Amino acid sequence: MSQSSLAENQAPALSVPKARRAWAVFRRELIGVAEDFWKDGNWEKPAPREKTVKAPMPSRAKNEASSAKAASASSNLWHAAPGEISEKMWGDGHVTPADDYLTDLLIKPLSLNKDMSMLDLAAGLGARMSKTTHEFKLYISGREPDPEIAARGMALSVKAGTAKHVAITAYDPMNLVEPHKYDCVVARETIYRVPDKKKFITSIVACCKPQAQVSFTDFIVNPESQNMPAILAWRAFEKDAAPLSLVEMAELWAKAGIPLRVHDDQTKIYKKEVKEGMIRFARFMASGVKPDPATCKSIEKRITTWARRMAAMEQGLQFYRFYGLR
């Protein structure tokens, strides 16, 4: 899934005591929210600090010392860039689980070559695009619904010297208009969050050449699972989540002119990758990194989102790969 931006504006510097208290509260709450994920992690409570008796300090000197400590504490806090929290879970350049594995599944049926053109509608930070263009030498147009992640992804592409082949720009799925036609369109976990799915799919088909292929992943909820408590709770939390059923997905694509030839249940591997990503992130946090307040808030939201999704997957939420040919 393209992910929503996880970074906030730089937070003001906190005093040392406030920074410590904020970290302690955040750490305790985070473990509580994600306790099922941390079983194999390496979380430990910080050792209690020894109390020391300090001599009284003159007012001016005390203020200067407090300011210096606050600045030092602020400079040592981690402020996550857009998509960076997800990278700590899924790997550098990746904002979705199992990206390398699923990229191989997505591109395998496409028979790519250097003369083909591709549109990626969930470009993220561009790692998937970089892997594909490096292997097949083709040009890829990347579109990313999150403007901040798109901007960082493009900056990373420029820095890596791949901007000519891997270009990433922000877009609105409800207003998708492309100046070119493409041989292939790929996406990760995008359709389930779009309000008007019929319009979006019709817009995708309008970007396709006569014999174009589509290859994408998405969440699915079939009718028998729609009212399960964990799925309702997930949708209440992730308010734009409105996954289709398998039948609804097939019908929308068929009516738009691209029958889906493959619907492949990848739920089991997806759940495994999410759990491993949570453990990876727990170990990263246990290494001593201390997020700033904005990053703490973003981490808690990400962890809660994944906890809700995983609970929903225990009650019928599924994860599928699809392939279609026009």
Query: What are the pLDDT digits (tens) for 311-324?
Result: 999 999 999 999 99
* Euclidean distance between CA atoms 294 and 72, whole angstroms: 17
- pLDDT for 59 equals 53
Q: How confident is the model at residue 75 (pLDDT cuts 50, 70, 90)?
A: low
Query: What are the pLDDT digits (tens) for 85-122?
Result: 999 999 999 999 999 999 999 999 999 999 999 999 99
Average pLDDT over residues 51-76: 49
- pLDDT for 134 equals 87
- pLDDT for 56 equals 52
Rg (CA), the chain: 23
Is the alpha carbon torsion for 157, 162, 164, 166 positive or negative? negative
Hunting for tokens 């350049």 — which residue is that? 93
Helix axes 293-313, 16-33, angle to 10 degrees: 0
Q: How confident is the model at residue 50 (pLDDT cuts 50, 70, 90)?
A: very low
Which residue type occupies 7? A
Domains of the chain, residue spans: 14-34+61-76, 90-272+314-325
Query: What are the pLDDT digits (tens) for 236-294?
Result: 999 999 999 999 999 999 999 999 999 999 999 999 999 999 999 999 999 989 999 99
Give burial (CB, 10 Å; 0-12/13-18/19+) of 10: exposed
Average pLDDT over residues 129-146: 92
Strand partners, 141: 119, 167
Backbone φ and ψ for 214, nearest 5 degrees, come out as -125, 140
Q: How confident is the model at residue 163 (pLDDT cuts 50, 70, 90)?
A: confident
- pLDDT for 63 equals 52
Class of 90-272+314-325 in CATH: alpha beta
Percent of the chain with pLDDT over 70: 77
- pLDDT for 37 equals 43
Percent of the chain with pLDDT over 90: 71
Average pLDDT over residues 302-319: 96
* More confident of the two residues 316 and 65: 316
Average pLDDT over residues 56-74: 48
Hunting for tokens 């689980």 — which residue is that? 97
| Predicted confidence (pLDDT) at residue 218 exceeds the cutoff of 80 | yes
* More confident of the two residues 19 and 11: 19
Q: What is the DSSP string of 162-226?
A: -TTTEEEEE--GGG---SS-EEEEEEES-GGG-S-HHHHHHHHHHTEEEEEEEEEEEEE--GGGT
- pLDDT for 48 equals 40
Strand partners, 322: 216, 263
